Amino acid sequence: MYVKRNLDDAMAQLGLTELRPGQLEVIDALNAGRDVFARMPTGYGKSACFQIPALMQESGTTLVVSPLLALMRDQVRRLVNRGVKSVDVHSGYEDPDRAKIITDIRSGIYIIVYASPEQLQKSDVISLGKGGVFKSVVVDEAHCAVQWGHDFRPAYQFIPEYIKKAGITQRSGFTATASTSLVEQIKSDLELDNPFEYLGSIRRKNLDYDVQKCEDKNKKAAALLKLLREAESSPGGKLIYCSTIEDVLKVHDFLKKKGLAVAYYHGQMNAEDRIKNERNFYDGTVPIMVCTNAFGLGVDKPDIRLVVHFSIPGSIESYIQETGRAGRDGKPSTCVLLYCEKDNVIQKYFIDRNSPSIATIRAVYNAILNQKKTAKANGNGQFEFSPGALTFDKNTRRFISTDTPVAPSLAVLQEHGSLIVDGENAKIGAFPSEEKLACIIGRKREAALSRFSLLSCYVNAENPTQDLLLELLD
């Protein structure tokens, strides 16, 4: 195993000389074996709150469930550089490399193991859990369990099931973004048992917030150009968030034609271009990045001086999360939302798309059912997804389709229990009643509309300050 460290030694190994308010209380609670829920502002050091207890324990491995590969790689790289035995398990590893990593984890040489929620459904990671390797589990960016688990990342819903099967007695959730109502939902979804709570203020004194109302996209483009010109003399990065890929490309081309050094980033780019553009932004070669929210949780550039939302995001939590990329070095930075009433149409379209009709859910169900019948005819009781018109991504364990809201439909079926992902395979049960479906769809839609309405209140206020933003959040 490994040598137990005291608090001072653990802090020193992570390069820390002091703790911030709330960190010691969270560390003490974890060391006492309690479940924990902690909300801390971006850049406050929430990772240290679960890394330090992991270093202080005498045996057992801490499992950290994290949403993004870039985020995991960055955390593991920092830990390894500090001499902390840690590793990330992801779909990029193939045999024999993956098999060796799993064997090493099982032997107990790693103090911290990072994995995405989808990896918890892989047979080898399931075997680690059943083997009692993990002593505690941490769900980082825990708000994703609510915001993604019900729609885009169904695997988030099954984290508690994995924890139960693994016999892990201690679990915790950490986030930089959660309203009071969202906190309660996260605790419920993760099945935290009488957790110690630390709900720190997520106010960032160095961030200046503003809303600029514009008549149309042309006026927004002009306002954006003015903001960037004014910020040219300030070293550091500038992030421009757009709601759609189409807007990302248009804004990028517009700024490039104006002579600005600019890159772009969205989820449908090939990996090589994403990595190149991300690297150029981080090293300052290209100071401006135009992106969708795909460029979000993994962003850890400390000197981002300006974050502009060219489009209104879908919720107040999303807005705070994305603006939280600014000023992580503690220096003054600016966050501006360029608002046009027509932008509401885009977000309501997203809400509608993620609230599929019963007919759409049935179409997805029938496509999966056909695969089950084919598998049964071939002598297989279980089956892997490969429906003809639908593409199933084995890494994210969800369907991908350009013309059908498959992922939300799949999430509804999984939430009801009509579809059960079990390791590498799946089982399908009875189709839900229309009454039950209507209840699930309605609840999801109302929750999304409620989160968006809070942000609408903010942008339409006479004085849209950060204080108002946080007041609406709670």
Q: What are phi and psi of 177, to 5 degrees?
A: -145, 110
Asked if residue 142 lies in contact with residue 176, where contact means CB atoms within 8 angstroms, the answer is no
Res 294: pLDDT: 79
Find the mean pLDDT for residues 108-133. 89
Q: What angle do CA 286, 240, 261 make, to 5 degrees?
A: 25
Residue located via tokens 């000197």: 303
Q: Which two tokens stand for residue 253?
A: 């081309």
Res 405: pLDDT: 61
| Cβ partners under 8 Å of residue 63, min gap 6 | 113, 115, 134, 136, 137, 138, 168
pLDDT greater than 80 at residue 314: yes
Residue 291 belongs to what H/E stretch? strand 288-291
Q: What are phi and psi of 81, to 5 degrees?
A: -65, -20
Residue 252 belongs to what H/E stretch? helix 245-257
pLDDT tens profile 376-429: 666 665 555 443 445 555 554 444 444 556 767 877 887 777 877 655 566 778
Lowest-confidence range among 96-100, 356-360, 455-459? 356-360
Q: Which two tokens stand for residue 359?
A: 């007919």
pLDDT greater than 90 at residue 137: yes
pLDDT greater than 90 at residue 251: yes
Give pTM, 2 decimals. Answer: 0.75
pLDDT tens profile 46-84: 899 999 999 998 778 999 998 777 778 888 999 999 999
Find the mean pLDDT for residues 261-290. 91
Q: Which two tokens stand for residue 320?
A: 């705070």
Find the mean pLDDT for residues 204-218. 93
Find the mean pLDDT for residues 171-181. 83
- 3 state DSSP class of 355: coil
- Go through the domains of the chain in sequence order and give each one's CATH number: 7-199 (3.40.50.300), 207-349+449-473 (3.40.50.300), 354-432 (no CATH)
Res 382: pLDDT: 56
Res 247: pLDDT: 94
CA atoms in the 13 A half-sphere facing the CB of 94: 0
Q: What angle do CA 73, 75, 76 make, to 5 degrees?
A: 65
pLDDT tens profile 9-55: 999 999 999 999 899 999 999 999 999 999 987 777 889 999 999 99
